[in-house]
Amino acid sequence: MGASSPTEVDISTDEFCRVYDELPLWSAPFGALLLEHVPLPRGGEVLDVGAGTGFLSVELAQRCGAASRVVAVDPWSAALRRLRSRVEFHNLANVELIESPLEDAGLAANRFDLIVSNLGVNNFADPARAVAECFRVAKPHGAFALATNTQGHMQEFYEVYADVLKGVGTPAVLRALEEHIARRTTAGALVSLLETAGFEVQDTIERPFAMRFADGTALLNHHLVRLAFLPDWMAVSEDVDGVFESLERRLNEVALKRGELRLSVPMLYVKAEKRA
């Protein structure tokens, strides 16, 4: 595989966040889908949950106009330092940064016209609690719009991985892979989560995009894959070296047969409204 282990990196450092903007190659399609459909409250209050380095915060602060106010919430210190530098560079006086988990941010109830989250729902420590807090801080008839990936993500990869594990793994390892895949949400589960919190779902849009690689070796050595996906993929296996040698070989065979390794990624946009 060339790189036999995931990238080890300290995401709390400024150095990481200086190069992090290369990684939203992954998150940008979701953000673009969200920005294509999200309401833009002129002069409104906007909350960006899990803002990270602030792609949505910066865009919405400009797209909603100077009379609006965007509050970016994230416990990730280094990312918010990066966002602060971007806010200063763009001279955006209408962006407020709060370094905190959403539930501990001390936000007033019934405050926000719009709440957004890009790829946040799969990363919430307690999704039900986070969504309940979004409901609390939304104004009556306020909107909650989010974009996320869903089950079916990189299905072509997981099919090959499952076949490899059937040959060299145990039933427990196969169950571990199934549990890993099932951690991602579905459209139905996300709608149910929002409705349980009290939101009324008004719109859902599903759209795929593809990540393409020359072969399996390129996939497994890609920086984003090694950082964001490979640790969980490796945690499934008991014999990491043997399994990933077989997996890389099988992925390369698939790429040779098909002319490339093409992985489909389903995207889901959901817009909901707080019931009055």
- pLDDT (tens digit per residue) in 92-127: 999 999 999 999 999 999 999 999 999 988 788 899
Instruction: Give bridge partners of residue 148 from the DSSP assignment.
Output: 268
Q: Is residue 253 part of a domain?
A: yes
- Distance of alpha carbon 190 from alpha carbon 201, whole angstroms: 10
| pLDDT tens-digit readout, 216-259 | 999 999 988 998 899 999 999 888 889 999 999 999 999 999 99
Report yes or no on 9 lying in a domain: no
For residue 267, pLDDT beyond 60: yes
Token output for 115: 């709440």
Residues of the chain with pLDDT > 90, as a percent, come to 76
Q: Give the helix/strand (H/E) hosting 205.
A: strand 199-213
Question: Could you tell me if residue 210 is inside a domain?
Answer: yes
pLDDT for 24-55, tens place per residue? Answer: 678 889 999 999 999 999 999 999 999 998 98
Q: 12-28, pLDDT tens digit by residue?
A: 877 766 656 545 678 88
Type of residue at 77: S
Give me the half-sphere count of Cα atoms (radius 13 Å) on the Cβ side of residue 241: 0
In a domain, 4, yes or no: no
pLDDT band at 6 (very low <50, low <70, confident <90, very high): low
Q: What is the predicted pLDDT for the residue at 132?
A: 97
Q: Which residue, 55, 45, 107, is CA-closest to 82?
A: 55
The predicted structure's pLDDT at residue 19:
55
Question: Which residues have a Cβ under 8 Å from the Cβ of 56 and sit 6 or more positions away?
Answer: 31, 34, 35, 48, 116, 118
Predicted pLDDT at 25: 76
Which ranges of 138-168 would DSSP assign to H, the alpha helix? 155-168
Cα 246–chain centre separation: 29
Q: What percent of the chain has pLDDT over 70?
A: 93
Question: At a CB cut-off of 8 Å and minimum separation 6, what does 137 contact?
Answer: 47, 107, 108, 109, 110, 111, 112, 115
In a domain, 5, yes or no: no
Is residue 70 a part of any domain in this protein?
A: yes
Q: Is residue 1 part of a domain?
A: no
Domain CATH for 63: 3.40.50.150
Report helix angle 155-168 to 240-258, nearest 10: 130
Residue 142 dihedral angles phi and psi, to the nearest 5°: -70, 155
Question: What is the domain extent for residue 165?
Answer: 14-274
Does residue 188 lie within any of the structural domains? Answer: yes
Contact between residue 148 and residue 187 where contact means Cβ atoms under 8 Å apart = no
264: which DSSP letter? E
Q: Residue 132, exposed/middle/buried by CB under 10 A (0-12, 13-18, 19+)?
A: middle
How much is the pLDDT for 21? 57
Mean pLDDT of the chain: 92
The residues pairing with 203 across neighbouring beta strands, listed in sequence order, are 271
- What pTM was computed for the model? 0.89
The structural domain count of the chain equals 1
